[in-house]
Amino acid sequence: MPPSEPLAEPGSIEAELLSRIDRSRLPRHVAVIMDGNGRWAKQRKLPRVEGHRAGVAAVRETVETAARLEIPHLTLYAFSVENWKRPRAEVWTLMNLLKEYVRKELETLVEHGIRFEPIGRWRELDPSVVAALERARAATAGGTGMRFDIALNYSGRCEIVDACRKIVADFAAGRRVEIDEATLSASLYTAGQPDPDLLIRTSGEMRVSNFLLWQIAYSEIWVTPTLWPDFRRRHLFQGILEFQRRERRFGGVGPVEPPATDARAADG
């Protein structure tokens, strides 16, 4: 969608939802567990991979909408460490869809000023995938708009293990390290980013599935029955409206603002 097009057609459901969103209280970070591709395909008697193929359109619309709303950080969970258990052909299709997505969407990402970063053990993926991701990272590095992360070969537990290894390596190299929450946060793949304010999961499943385990300690969770390939702009608006209805207490008794982000660099 060209940046000049309106985010919602006048008189549409989207326009009505958008008019109710308080733009001064947007979530700073939205994280999404994209689920239900297999079920979407099964309902249509199609192979599972067709669900993933259809899911790419939902990725495209979600990324562009979030960027245009000026949500500062968006993280999508695309492939977990556990997903290697799937049939080889399904994994192969997912990797190809990913390469195709970054190739086709690069121009749009740049146009919207989006900074793209993969997170997870993505450097262990096939060299052709790593090269496509590196290209997209390099091309969007100067983006001053939304930071868009895709979690790939990702596991929340592995992320915490990798953070601990990094801290130990820093210590072994003679650097001064404090073992505290700030050091751990700054050693995660998401170093320097605010924790997700809103975690969206599609397909009605009530699980966090090893996603951003440390970072979602106080996230508001919104589960929608919509299957990922059907997820569109209106669903993102609904999730944001639901977030804005919640009273966040962070363990206290009244509504409070989220704690300030620890913005130290990963190697700080």
Beta bridge partners of 147: 73, 115
Q: Name the segment binding ligand FPP (CB under 6 A); options: 10-18, 36-44, 117-125, 159-167.
A: 36-44
Tell whether residue 39 is a contact of ligand FPP (CB under 6 A).
Answer: yes
| Alpha-carbon distances, residue 166 vs 8, 162, 180 (angstroms) | 45, 6, 14
Nearest CA-CA partner of 196 in 26, 64, 17, 20: 26
Q: Is 37 a catalytic residue?
A: no
Burial 116-140 (b: 16+ CB within 10 A, else e): bbbbbbbeebeeebeebbeebeeeb
Distance CA 125, CA 152 (A): 9
Under the binding rule (CB under 6 A), the answer on residue 56 touching ligand FPP is: yes
| Part of the chain binding ligand FPP (CB under 6 A), chosen from 37-45, 67-75, 120-128, 242-250 | 37-45
Count CB-CB contacts under 10 A for residue 171.
Answer: 12
How far apart are the C-alpha atoms of 268 and 263, rounded to whole Å? 9
Q: Is 223 in the site for ligand FPP (CB under 6 A)?
A: no
Span from 30-38, 159-167, 218-226, 259-267 in contact with ligand FPP (CB under 6 A): 30-38
Per-residue interface string for the shown chain with ligand FPP, residues 73-92, x marking contact by CB under 6 A:
---x-x----x---------
Among 30, 37, 149, 211, binds ligand FPP (CB under 6 A): 37
Q: Considering 83, 162, 170, 230, which one is annotated as catalytic?
A: 83
How many distinct helices (H) and strands (E) make up the chain?
Answer: 8, 6
From the list 159, 177, 190, the residue with the least C-alpha distance to 80 is 159
Verify whether residue 83 is a known catalytic residue.
yes
User: Is 98 near ligand FPP (CB under 6 A)?
Assistant: yes
Binding span for ligand FPP by CB under 6 A among 32-40, 126-134, 190-198, 245-253: 32-40
**Of the two residues 40 and 243, which places its CB atom closer to ligand FPP in the complex?**
40
Contact flag: residue 236 with ligand FPP (CB under 6 A): no
Distance CA 36, CA 34 (A): 7
Segment 142 to 201, residues that bind ligand FPP, using CB under 6 A: 150
Q: Which residue's CB is nearer to ligand FPP, number 186 or number 199?
A: 199
Shortest CB 48 distance to ligand FPP, Å: 6
CA 182 to centroid of chain Cα atoms: 22
Give the number of residues in contact with ligand FPP, rule: CB under 6 A: 20
Helix, strand or coil, per DSSP, at residue 31:
strand
SS3 151: strand
Of 98, 87, 83, 81, nearest to 156 by C-alpha is 81
Smallest separation, CB 181 to ligand FPP (Å) = 30
Taking the complex as a whole, the smallest distance from the CB of residue 12 to ligand FPP amounts, in Å, to: 25
135 binds ligand FPP (CB under 6 A): no
Residues acting as catalytic residues:
35, 83
* Positions that interact with ligand FPP (CB under 6 A): 34-39, 52, 55-56, 59, 76, 78, 83, 94, 97-98, 101, 150, 203, 228
